[in-house]
Amino acid sequence: MRIKLIIEYDGTNFCGWQYQPGLRTVQSELESAIEKLTGEKSRVTASGRTDAGVHALGQTAHFDTNKDLGEKYAGALNYYLPPDIRIIRAEKTSEDFHARFSAKNKTYKYVIYEAQTDSAILRGRAVRVGYRLNVRAMNAAARSFFGKNDFSAFMSAGSETVTTVRTVTDISVKRKDGLIIISVSADGFLYNMVRKIAAALIKAGRGALDGDGIKELLCKGAVFTPVAPPEGLYLYKVEYKI
Amino acid sequence: MRIKLIIEYDGTNFCGWQYQPGLRTVQSELESAIEKLTGEKSRVTASGRTDAGVHALGQTAHFDTNKDLGEKYAGALNYYLPPDIRIIRAEKTSEDFHARFSAKNKTYKYVIYEAQTDSAILRGRAVRVGYRLNVRAMNAAARSFFGKNDFSAFMSAGSETVTTVRTVTDISVKRKDGLIIISVSADGFLYNMVRKIAAALIKAGRGALDGDGIKELLCKGAVFTPVAPPEGLYLYKVEYKI
């Protein structure tokens, strides 16, 4: 049977999601916890990889097993997992469900704070900018990303993808309790797409780029090189067709 | 000359504020950074100690030096300090200023979240309760702590103090972005006083204690044994007479 997992992790001390021999990755920790619990070697498939330092509040994954623990997989796996990975929910799902291919929409958040000095508390959880950001200008610029666009200017080499067209279904920038939070939803994301969008919106926030500039970048398709740092990025949720 | 420091730290990987031979403490790290920078062995005096795991956003401390760097101490010390301690501000101050004895008022925050599972992201930064808290009841109960009271029921052995009377100048409980934040200001705090107040208010939030019960505890002075965990506690700010 197939088990669906909703996973939260602090990406700080992981070399990203994907298995790499000898390195501490989220996938390896999960597969090792499943083996300890079930005695079976299972492959865990996520909605997508995340890079080193990137966090998740709602990463979604699946694996196949013969052991019918259903919802109890959450508590049982948490027993074997390190505290920087937590299974928020587990459930038996259909064999047709695929964490990557059944995904309909994904939401990421990018968290920024404005300060002259790095914060000891926010270290690893948010990205510092040393100047005041204009959130209104960031929102205005963000509208240029909305809808169906060719995002080839906003990807890095390494995207496993046939097409570079994606549909941004929601994008907003909010100031909240001293943090600035960029929220982006799309039917899919190219490699580094959110971190490049975040870098563009930070630029917009200090008046160095606007909506027209972003539209021009999208049209031309020439690579927008800035990439905002990984530690501000959170995979917030993944929505499914089934 | 005397230098005043405003310090932020993530208490997770420290054995508290105070110097203890062979252990990683905030005081040791600061004194070692000052020695590296100035070549002088200085003693750093804080507004008060914090325990292992307790954080600070606005701890305040002073030290004496012959090196006149003024405000530049912030950047210069941050160069030598580990990333889990940051000097937010440094300034030359009067020889009469004493980080502990000149303190007029201190504010602590205590951060709680409600969830069935520990959070990987909030781990070490907030305390989980597995049930829904009634914030209105917590606020109602909190009013019993307000004002001048003998807090001997809300301290642990180890308070360096002559009197156990303290004046709570402000206390409130707020729900904010999925977190519950208790904020307490007083002219001074006994050892574990905030963590015992937090434990009492959590109890009030699940209906197991109310304002009258707290008043009775304060009057009787018999020790209230519950102590909320350190990782939810933040020393938020210290206000001074001078």
What confidence tens digit (pLDDT) does each residue in B55-94 have? 999 999 999 999 999 999 999 999 999 999 999 999 999 9
Nearest by CB: B57 against A78, A121, A123:
A121
Cα radius of gyration (chain A) = 19
In b/e form, how buried is each residue of B33-42, taking b as 16+ CB within 10 angstroms?
bbeebbeeeb
What confidence tens digit (pLDDT) does each residue in A153-192 have? 999 987 667 899 999 999 999 999 889 999 999 999 999 9
What confidence tens digit (pLDDT) does each residue in A21-51 have? 999 999 999 999 999 999 999 999 999 999 9
pLDDT at A9 over 80: yes
ipTM, 2 dp: 0.89
Would you state the pLDDT for residue B116? 93
pLDDT at A218 over 70: yes
Would you state the pLDDT for residue A242? 77
- State the best of B7, B8, B183 to mutate against chain A, taking most chain A CBs within 10 Å: B8
Nearest by CB: A83 against B78, B85, B123:
B123
Residue B144: band (very low, low, confident or very high) from pLDDT cuts 50, 70, 90: very high
- The sign one gets for the Cα dihedral A128, A131, A132, A136 is negative
Residues of B within 8 A of A57 (CB-CB) are: 121
- Torsion-angle region of residue B45: left (phi > 0), alpha (psi -120 to 50) or beta? beta
pLDDT at B159 over 70: no
Report CB contact under 8 Å: B118, A83.
yes
Would you state the pLDDT for residue A159? 64
Mean pLDDT, rounded, for B184-191: 96
Would you state the pLDDT for residue B201? 98
Residue identified by tokens 């197991």 is B208
Would you state the pLDDT for residue B192? 96
**Nearest CA of chain A to the CA of B47: how many Å?**
19
Q: Which of A205, A180, A182, A179 is nearest to A193 (CA)?
A: A182
Cβ contacts of B22 within 8 Å, gap of 6 or more: none
Residues of B within 8 A of A177 (CB-CB) are: 176-177
For residues B214 and B221, the answer to whether their CB atoms sit within 8 Å is: no
What confidence tens digit (pLDDT) does each residue in B112-131 have? 999 999 999 999 999 999 99
Would you state the pLDDT for residue A241? 86
**Nearest CA of chain A to the CA of B151: how many Å?**
30
pTM (2 d.p.): 0.93
Residues of B within 8 A of A87 (CB-CB) are: 117
Q: What percentage of chain B exceeds 90 in pLDDT?
A: 94
Q: Which of A147, A141, A139, A150 is nearest to A214 (CA)?
A: A141
Domains and CATH numbers, chain A: 2-93 (3.30.70.580), 105-240 (3.30.70.660)
